[in-house]
Amino acid sequence: MTALRTFRERALWPVDAFVDFFREWIRRFFDVQGFDRAMAIGAYGYSALIPAVIVYSAVVTDESSFADTLIKKFELTGSAADSVRAAFGSSSTVESSITWFGVLLLIVAALSFARAMQRLYENAFGLPPLSMRNTKWALLWLLILFVAASIRPLIDRGPVTGLLLSAAVWLATPYLLLGRRIHSSRLIGIALLSALGMSGVGIWTVIYMPHAISDASAQYGVFGIGFALLSWLFVSACVLVAAATGGAMITERVEHHRASKEG
């Protein structure tokens, strides 16, 4: 009986360890107020990333406008396509309406988004906030996002390449937004979870967003497009919050295991 009990305990140990890790992960998610944090990140992202992409499509690229890109990506037709064009306008309209004051507001909004992400990683690792003192690294992170978005179409030749580029970006993200207070080797878990999670969001986007945009535009017109994009940003932010808390847990458990072995 003792041998049988020992065998059962050994057989159930991986399951118990997984359940314990998952339970702790959920607790960590709520400890950092995961859904509230995701809503804040999504709102800041909506006020910063969407305008930035629109301006980028109008000024930097010589291709179709942001509206045309959405229509092509989500295969929108009819009233849904018309609502997207009405919501975002043409490249010439956007380019002619850009002012220095608008660019300044865009930079302020982008920095607010960066600080929202910064607070997420600080909470995940229990670090004191840097706030405005981390502005230079936040600006560098925004530049990296811009460069990554520019070169991805040129080097993305398959899912593996895209995943590696995504992992590199999500490794640099907490490293810079935490003011380099944590070594990059301790952030590998966050980078991998973020890259895998956002890859899953990409698959979900292709399946869900065309229907969401079509239904929202049919019910609410131009405003419905904003609701659909905000919901997409909220889901993406939830994935990033989960990746941050889970990655921090992985780092802590690995370090604890190493310390116990050395001790």
pLDDT (tens digit per residue) in 49-108: 777 776 666 565 555 567 777 777 777 777 777 777 777 766 555 555 566 766 777 888
pLDDT (tens digit per residue) in 70-85: 777 777 777 777 777 7
DSSP the chain: -HHHHHHHHHHHHHHHHHHHHHHHHHHHHHHTTHHHHHHHHHHHHHHHHHHHHHHIIIII-SS--HHHHHHHHHT--HHHHHHHHHHH--HHHHHHH--HHHHHHHHHHHHHHHHHHHHHHHHHHTPPP-GGGGHHHHHHHHHHHHHHHHHHHHH--SHHHHHHHHHHHHHHHHHHHTTT-S-GGGGHHHHHHHHHHHHHHHHHHHHHHHHHHHHHHHHHTHHHHHHHHHHHHHHHHHHHHHHHHHHHHHHHHHHHHHHHHH-
* Contact call for residues 150 and 142 (beta carbons, < 8 A): no
User: How far apart (Å, rounded) are the C-alpha atoms in residues 182 and 99?
Assistant: 38
* Contact call for residues 139 and 108 (beta carbons, < 8 A): no
Could you tell me which residue, 261 or 181, shows the higher pLDDT? 181
pLDDT (tens digit per residue) in 115-154: 999 999 999 999 999 988 999 999 999 999 988 887 887 7
* Contact call for residues 52 and 106 (beta carbons, < 8 A): yes
User: What does the mean pLDDT of the chain come to?
Assistant: 83
Q: 22-26 contacts: CB < 8 A, separation 24 or more?
A: 24/249, 25/242, 25/245, 25/246, 25/249
Could you tell me which residue, 144 or 162, shows the higher pLDDT? 144
Residue indicated by tokens 């607070």: 119
pLDDT (tens digit per residue) in 199-216: 999 888 888 888 888 888
